[in-house]
Amino acid sequence: MARKISRMSRSGLSVMSLPAGGRSLSPGFTLAVALLIALSGCNSEDDIRTYNVPKSPRTQVAKSGGPSDTGQGVPTRMLAAVIPRPGQSWFFKLVGPEKIVAKQREPFLALVRSIRLGSDNGPPQWDLPEGWSQQPGSGMRYATIRPVPEEPSVELSVIPLPTAGGNETDYVLSNINRWRNQLGLSAIAATELDAAPSLDESRATDTIIRVPLENDIAAIFVNLSGSRSASPGRGGPFSAGMTPRGPMVQRGAGDSATTSLTYDVPEGWKEAAASGIRKASFRISQGDQAAEITVIDLPESSLAANVNRWRGQIALPPLSPAEIDEQAKAIEIDGHPGHYLEMWGDEAAQPREAILAAIVNIDGQSWFIKLRGDAAVATAQRDAFRGFLESISF
């Protein structure tokens, strides 16, 4: 629509101002606007559309130092656990209506206490509380756990993410404060995190608890109560099919809260729900073959760790950092230098998958633009994907 509005201005049509002071529009005015939009049409000549994606409240918090306006009136409880490890950390998060999630504190803690992580930093194992069910993960999720059978929209997500460089306390604290911001709560200082009691010394009212695990590993358990606003047109923040926001660190205070992500959508790409840590998502179908495109930003991490994670997704062996550097091609997205890689699954694999991906680091965040799907679709969409990368503006 952005392009169509610009055409209307150039052709001599003026832009009408809405009444000030919150007065309602007359039925006649509303009908006139509707007819004008209908007559302008959405011609088939526009094969590419432009979208603006506002920045999330976490950037505004980092800029102002206080909670953002998250809306009013939806009592919300969040139970979460962070297990920071070198290279890769694990996040367990359950968020939903206060009355439902508050009852899950003890079984959630029991699950956390049962977590077993090997010394090789491999995937964790855990015991499900009675009545809880588990499903395989998808995308960034390692697993999805449903604690309340009668409330399928209330989910516990398990997500592994590359551990951002720097101090472990700062990494954990940034995620806790982002979660607090989501619930309209003010940020806490590192001293409060450092003073968190161990599980044996804790009380039910404590918001942060250190839970000892095996091999001298500790999980940081978080119990937060606040409020979230309903998402217009989506039936609220706990609607079925919506994914909670994944863990991320806050950006620096120099970020502009008015900056938005824009891009052109190639012909044939169908927009999918952009929820959780996904800033944009698309699907491509080619007969019975398909591919998915995602745009995600996460704490900045090493190129090798992410590329080898992707290679594992399509059954390819890991490569050394030197080998990855040789395969990566230099790319520039919106003036920022980055890396572009293509990964093709074994030709004998059925189905044979491929990943086309770009990584660009901006202000402590890594942006991942990735196409994953059938190798034939990836081949056919290679040029469109590169054009999509060139169109992105942060």
pLDDT of residue 243: 33
Residues 175-192: tens digit of each pLDDT: 898 889 888 899 999 899
Domains delineated in the chain: 2-12+25-46 (no CATH), 58-227 (no CATH), 260-391 (3.40.1000.10)
User: pLDDT digit string (tens) for 258-304?
Assistant: 347 889 999 999 998 776 678 899 999 999 999 999 999 888 888 88
Give the model's pLDDT for residue 346. 92
pLDDT digits (tens, 9 = 90+) for 149-164: 898 889 999 988 877 6
Beta carbons of 47 and 3 less than 8 angstroms apart: no
**What is the reported pLDDT for 267?**
92
Instruction: Please tell me the distance from the alpha carbon of residue 181 to that of residue 184, in angstroms, as a whole number.
Output: 5
User: Which pLDDT band, with edges at 50, 70 and 90, does 169 fall under?
Assistant: confident
Q: Are 346 and 315 in contact (CB under 8 A)?
A: yes
Give the tens place of pLDDT for each residue, 337-370: 899 999 999 998 888 999 999 999 888 888 999 9
Residue 19 has pLDDT above 90, yes or no: no
Pairwise pLDDT comparison (257 vs 136), residue with the higher score:
136
Beta bridge partners of 295: 280, 369
Q: Are 373 and 284 in contact (CB under 8 A)?
A: yes
Contact between residue 305 and residue 88 where contact means Cβ atoms under 8 Å apart: yes
What average pLDDT does this structure show over 89-105? 94
Which of residues 28 and 220 earns the better pLDDT score? 220
User: Is the CB of residue 124 less than 8 Å from the CB of residue 107?
Assistant: no
Distance separating alpha carbons of residues 146 and 67, to the nearest angstrom: 30
In the chain, the amino acid numbered 129 is: P
**pLDDT at residue 228 in the model:** 72
